[in-house]
Structure 1
């Protein structure tokens, strides 16, 4: 059945095409992974920068609030104590709602990034 030269050549051509296809798939996978990692790392860097700037802004806003509260509560120490209490409450709120605020959005972002087809 496969003894003539034409059949052998077509099998060799099929094998060569399949080998070429696998090499192209390997290259495509490398490009796809590179694209996804670039998006992931740039997003992480952006989040880091925004969190850092937000922390600096919050620091100065809370200092301002402490000095605004000073005449109302009578002393600077008491106003800083109130600000410390507000910070502790914010920390507890973020901790209690960490799934909704941090884990779910991150999971959704990573799932969309790595599991959705990027064919447009």
Structure 2
């Protein structure tokens, strides 16, 4: 079967090519992983920045609304109570619909990011 040196050289060349192919595949997987992690981390940072800015805006808007409501509801304490009740209601709605509002979009994003090869 391996009667001449030409076949042995061909097998050595084949093994060298397979080794190089395995190294290239390893490098490709690393690059692919880095790309996906970069997208994931940048999206996480963007969401954190947007949520932080949204909380700050909600804080200032709630104070503004409290002062706007003050003459109409009979006092500043009542307007703060109304706004606090609205914010608590908003938190409860988010907790009740967390699967539809938070979990499902996150699962869809991660599935599209990690499973789609474009």
- Would you call these one fold, judging by a TM-score over 0.5? yes
Pick the TM interval, shorter chain. Answer: over 0.9
Q: TM-score, normalised by structure 2?
A: 0.96
- For residue 40 of structure 2, what is the aligned residue in structure 1? 40
Please tell me the root mean square deviation across aligned C-alpha atoms, in Å: 0.8
Deviations 1:6-26 (A, max 9, x none): 111111111100000000011
Structure 1: which 4+ aligned runs deviate by more than 2 Å? none
1:5-60 Cα deviation digits (max 9, x unpaired) = 11111111111000000000111111111111111111111111100111111111
Q: CA deviation at 1:90?
A: 0.4
Gap runs ≥5 in structure 2: none
Distance 2:98 2:14 in 1: 54
Question: CA offset at residue 77 of structure 1?
Answer: 0.6
Q: Alpha-carbon deviations, 1:78-109, whole Å to 9, x = none?
A: 11001110010000011011111111111111
Number of equivalenced pairs: 118
Q: CA deviation at 1:72?
A: 1.1
